[in-house]
Each structure stands twice: as C-alpha cells, then as structure tokens.
Homo-oligomer: A and B are copies of this chain.
C-alpha cells in the first residue's frame, strides 16, 4: 500500500482513482488552480461534475491551496494536468516535489521549439524542474487507448507506461495494474509520446469524414466509412513518418499507442465533435465559438507540429509532402480554409 497524490482533478487524473483504489492505496486528489469547482463538488458529495460519477470511497480531496500537504509523504505522484498545465506542474508542483517522488503523467502533447524540434512532455517538464530534483525524479507517462469514463466504469483497458527506467516502470505497473487495467511497458518514451500526442490531431481528421457523412445524409444504404477509413490509414502512416523523424520506434505505429489510441479517440468526445462541425462545413472560428471553454488538445497539437514542419524540412529532416493530411488540418484551423481533403495527395506507389 502506497500513498499516491494525483495532481489535477480533470477526467483522466480522477479516473486513475479507480485502479488505485482497487489496489487499496491511499489516494490524495488535488485540483489545479482551474479545478476549484471540481474539488468543491467532490468535497460536498463525492460527485465529479464532468466524469459524472461518485469517486471511490476513501479518496481524500484537496484544493490547490493545500498542494503542499497533499504531497507531503507521498510515495509517488500522478500528473493529471492538460498540456496547457505542463509549465505550472513543473514550476509550482516541482518546487515542492521531493527527489524520490517519481511522476506518472497522463498529459498528452508535444512542445515545439524555435528551431522546429518537438519535445515530448516528460522532457519538456524535466527542463523546467528545479535543479535540486531535475535529474533525480523519474518522469513516466501513459500512452495507449483509454477513455476516462470507461476506466472509471472498470471497462477492460490496455495501456502502455513509458519511461526511461525499466525498474521504475515495473514497480509502477505493480502499483496500478488490476483485472481490468492492463499495462504494457516501453522505454521508448519518444515513440509512445509522439503517438499519444498525434492521435488528437488525426482523430480530428477522421472526424471530418464523420461530419461530411452527417452533412451528406445517407445515400440509399451507403454510409461513409470508406472516407473515414482512408483518413485513418493516412493518419497512421503520417504518425509513423513523424515517429521515424523524431527518433521514436516505429513499432508504436502498429500497436496500442498509434492505431489503438487513434481508434478510441475517434469515439472519444471533444476532438471528434470539433471534426464533425468542420466536416459539416462550419468554419473553425464558428466551431471554436460553439465549443467555447472546451480544452482542444487537437488544435494545439496540430498547430505546434504544423509550425515545426517547415523548420524541420528546412533542416533537411523531413519532406513536407509526406504530411498532406496534417498540413490540411493546419490550413483549416489556422488559415481559415474550408475542408477540402487532398485525397490524391495521399496516393502512394510502392513500386
């Protein structure tokens, strides 16, 4: 039995309470500065307002003001912040973390650098940690297909824990694994994290076809899965290309982190909701207004990677023509262009 502090009471951070509670750990769930209303609700009756479920018995909840006491004596820490909270986590939480409090993160994203480099979040976090713990704390992360609602419902779920230290990974698995939460391990942090980040961009792409289908309506018996599948296949190959450029193992593109996570994200809520609006012909500006207040990781990762592509191309590291789908997403969300899938640019001849 360990003491585990979850920092960030969003859906995914909170959902981690279930496997941890089933392993009889002492769980402390502490909100970020954005989570005050969630913590207030949890402290009233245990009900999580977006997860729409009462959290397991025994989980102690803390407002961010009590961050320090929530972390006091914890054996390890889960970071449940969104990609927008990485800096806050590294600076504010990092200032309190002890050198032996390893971190497991559910955050997905890549951070683009001025020269076009794309940093995985464990590395982006490390660079911001205080010197005193920077090289002591092991920063691990979770990839693979996991909708928070379903983890909280104890649905069968298979994920990948990634980090640089195999012994730490094995120990984390022994802490969290249950009969419904199946954990593979990988020391290929770049590979797992690039997939985890990119699936948000590409699920937006598949969502475009869902929106096109809904706008067109059924034509006789014909739905529109062919276009979705064409975009799905193109997505996987662009993810694999990016993996190879950024130094991740291509194996992730044929496993839970790539196609597995992309599959679940196509059913997973806000990303596809945006894709559908765009696919129906709503402009990005209008779609963004309709979804005001919703965190859109898909737009963030599309923008960051699209911003890096020309810089990486200039450095001779990639060919812009290898990413026609991602570039079109960028045109839609950042250049006000209408959806007009460049199908013929996806054509590939292996001759």
Chain A residues engaging chain B, CB cutoff 8 angstroms: 51-53, 144-147, 149-153, 155-158, 166, 169, 182-188, 209, 219-230, 232-234, 236-237, 239-240, 249-251, 253-261, 263-264, 267-268, 341, 343-344, 346-351
Contact = CB atoms under 8 A, between A and B. Distances in A.
B350 A222 contact: no
Question: Which of A185, A223, A229 is the most central at the interface, judged by chain B CB atoms within 10 Å of its CB?
Answer: A229
A254 B230 contact: no
Question: Which of A221, A259, A344, A346 is the most central at the interface, judged by chain B CB atoms within 10 Å of its CB?
Answer: A259
A52 B221 contact: yes
A230 B158 contact: yes
Nearest to A232: B263
Q: How many copies does the complex hold?
A: 2
B228 A264 contact: yes
11 contacts: A51-B221, A149-B220, A150-B223, A150-B224, A156-B230, A156-B341, A158-B233, A166-B351, A233-B256, A233-B258, A254-B254
Contacts of A253: 254
Given A224-B155, A230-B145, A350 B188 contact: yes
A169 B220 CA distance: 32
The 4 A-B residue pairs whose C-beta atoms are closest, nearest first, are: A233-B260, A153-B222, A145-B229, A158-B230
A56 to B, nearest CB: 14
Contacts of A166: 351
Contacts of A187: 350-351
Nearest to A183: B347
A149 B349 contact: no
Contact of A259 (B144, B157, B259, B350): B259
Contact of A186 (B185, B239, B346, B350): B350
Question: Which of A185, A239, A249 is the most central at the interface, judged by chain B CB atoms within 10 Å of its CB?
Answer: A185
A220 B258 CA distance: 28
B147 A349 contact: no
Contacts of A186: 349-351
Given A150-B225, A222-B150, A223-B150, A185 B251 contact: no
A255 B267 contact: no
B155 A264 contact: no
B229 A264 contact: yes
A52 to B, nearest CB: 5
Contacts of A350: 184-188, 249, 251
Contact of A232 (B150, B182, B228, B260): B260
A150 B222 CA distance: 5
A228 B254 CA distance: 15
B149 A221 contact: yes
B263 A226 contact: no
A148 to B, nearest CB: 9
A145 B226 contact: yes
A264 B209 CA distance: 13
A175 B261 CA distance: 37
A184 B351 contact: no
A349 B185 contact: yes
Contacts of A261: 229, 233
Given A145-B232, A228-B263, A233-B255, 20 more contacts: A51-B221, A145-B230, A146-B226, A150-B222, A155-B227, A156-B226, A157-B226, A157-B230, A158-B233, A182-B230, A184-B347, A184-B350, A185-B351, A186-B350, A232-B259, A232-B263, A233-B263, A234-B256, A236-B259, A263-B263
